[in-house]
Amino acid sequence: MPQITVVNQSGEESSVEAPEGRTLMEVIRDNGFDELLALCGGCCSCATCHVHIDAAFMDKMPEMSEDENDLLDSSEHRNEFSRLSCQIPVTGDLAGLKVTIAQED
């Protein structure tokens, strides 16, 4: 099971186990990071699971859909490493990933 590091909005880091087959949003939410709201529950219809992915892992991410891109456009905190965590399935390739929860808009 991959280990990932989650950085909260205050900059505190926590290492968590990420079961394969779950989404990154589910892993973060289920490990008690309440600042990741995930209001739509993973349906890619809000941007409340916005995260910033470690640059070294961007090439391991699935391609961004048009819907995800449009939702991220609504965020003041979007950058080149922005993704919606509900759109990222956990795989063994993500072992060692550091992901930062984006500030709320």
Give pLDDT tens digits for 26-47. Answer: 999 999 999 999 999 999 999 9
pTM (two decimals) = 0.95
pLDDT of res. 89: 97
pLDDT of res. 64: 97
Assigned architecture for domain 3-101: Roll (3.10)
How distant, in Å, are the alpha carbons of 2, 35, 45, 81, 104 from that of 58? 17, 23, 22, 7, 22
Domain range summary for the chain, segments of one domain joined by + = 3-101
